[in-house]
Amino acid sequence: MAKIKVSPCLLEGMFVIEPQVFGDDRGFFMETYNQREMAEAGLNMVFVQDNQSMSKQGVLRGLHYQIRYPQGKLVRVIRGEVFDVGVDLRPDSPTYGQWHGEILSAENKKQLYIPEGFAHGFYVLSEEAEFCYKCTDFYHPGDEGGLRWDDPDIAVDWPLLEGIPVLLSEKDQKQPFFRELPRD
């Protein structure tokens, strides 16, 4: 019996992953990753790095990608809640320039797989959120790319919290627009 449900998104290569949760009055147990079940669902990626971050409410991280060494990411929230987004930046893809977003939370335990060639970002909805992700390639300093979070051509429908300012890093305040990205 499968312990992980893998559902494709409308963007090819992007998946929502929902672990089966076994719980009782003591707590719960779940498998967050199972290589055999992922392979049976057609996901044969190899992860080489795990990352974890904590962010406060209103923080928006992204939209980021690596240029020459693209990373696939399996992302999840272990505390709090975020709106997580992937943007297809593969020029030959039929969904090039389109985005998909999901609410990920410690409560719903959903995960999102964002494939290589996508920009990725998230917005923190809860007071704080801890975010974990597995990567298919190592981080390469100097190979970073980015896209404006509020790009009108991409038009991500971020569920911004009323009265809470969007908190961006200095780098994310200066990211280019989609129309300015190289197309090779």
3-state class (DSSP) for residue 93: coil
- CATH code, 74: 2.60.120.10
The per-residue pLDDT for range 9-56, each reduced to its tens digit, is: 999 999 999 988 898 999 889 888 888 888 888 899 999 999 999 999
Question: What confidence tier does 182 reach under pLDDT thresholds 50, 70, 90?
Answer: confident
The residue from 96, 133, 139, 140 that is catalytic is 133
This prediction has a pTM of 0.93
64 is an active site residue: yes
- 3-state DSSP helix/strand/coil % of the chain, to nearest 5: 5, 45, 50
- DSSP string of 97-150, one letter each residue: T-EEEEEEETTT--EEEE-TTEEEEEEE-SSEEEEEEEESS---TT-EEE--TT
Supply the pLDDT for residue 184: 62
Both structure tokens of 8: 């494709």
Span 76-91, average pLDDT: 97
* Domain range for 64: 4-180
Distance between CA atoms of residues 49 and 134, nearest Å? 6
User: What's the chain's length in residues?
Assistant: 184
For the chain, the domain total comes to: 1
CB-based contacts of 128: which residues, under 8 Å, 6+ apart? 54, 55, 56, 57, 79, 80
Catalytic pick among 33, 64, 100, 123? 64
Give yes or no: 100 in active site. Answer: no
List CB contacts of 64: < 8 A, sequence separation 6 or more: 119, 120, 121, 144, 145, 146
pLDDT of residue 42: 87
Answer whether residue 99 shows pLDDT above 90. yes
